[in-house]
Amino acid sequence: MHILIIEDDQRIAELIQRGLREQGFETTLAYDGVLGRKLALQNSYDLVITDVVLPKLDGLELCKDIRAQQPELPILMLTALGTTDDKVEGFDAGADDYLVKPFEMRELLARIGALLKRNAKAATRPSELLKYSSLELNLHTKIVKREGIEIDLTPKEFNLLAYMLQHPERVLSRTEIAEHVWDTHFDTGTNFIDVYINYLRKKVDKAFDTKLIHTKSGMGFVLKEEK
């Protein structure tokens, strides 16, 4: 497994590199966003680890550029910024996971393992069309439609909706969503899952009489046909 590390703090970059090499990973370092983007787009990697604040090209724009050309490449963001808005911004840029500094190496390794495992499953999964009521989502083409009208979703909105479509009419707790969609433990101090549910409601339900995404107070969320 070959991992690209994009981090301008040389001490942190080399610390991560040493920890990954001890676990058998091959690594490449880049100390700015422009070089990181060039390496990511010209070479084959199994995963990218990137800081958000980078010289020459920030991590968010870097993430968007990589995601546009390599949609299946897992991206893990490392940052000192840990508010809900910061996390949402990172996920909207295309990041698959978000780890706040300072962090322990074992937590980083656990996140990497989860992303690589999920990506391996995705690579072997056949193309599928998920449907519920007038809503349909194609896992292969990434196209979402309701009543034939195409809906534009960010990568995380797409993954969240796909999980709900895979478990219709079942209440999904915030903890379950965090673990299966974000591969992370739910942080009760943030409300990023609620933020994404609201994003989906605006795109999936707002223009239609029949609402599909509902909140069950104290329990979670459910995809269910109700007017």
User: What CATH number is attached to the domain comprising 194?
Assistant: 1.10.10.10
Candidates 50, 65, 34, 140; CA nearest to 97 is: 50
Give the mean pLDDT of 161-180: 90
pTM: 0.60
Give the mean pLDDT of 127-144: 86
Candidates 103, 100, 201, 203; CA nearest to 145 is: 203
Is the same domain home to 162 and 90? no
Is the same domain home to 134 and 120? no
Determine contact, residues 135/146, Cβ cutoff 8 Å.
yes
For the chain, what is the mean pLDDT?
87
pLDDT at 40: 92
- Intra-chain end-to-end CA distance of the chain, in Å: 49
Number of domains in the chain: 2
Is the same domain home to 8 and 102? yes
Is the same domain home to 75 and 155? no
Q: Is the model's pLDDT at 186 over the cut of 60?
A: no
91 — pLDDT class (breaks 50, 70, 90): confident
Q: What CATH number has the domain bearing residue 83? A: 3.40.50.2300
Domain with 180 in it: 129-226
Q: Is the model's pLDDT at 221 over the cut of 90?
A: yes
Give me the percent of the chain exceeding a pLDDT of 90.
45
Q: Is the model's pLDDT at 119 over the cut of 80?
A: no
Is the same domain home to 137 and 105? no
Is the same domain home to 204 and 114? no
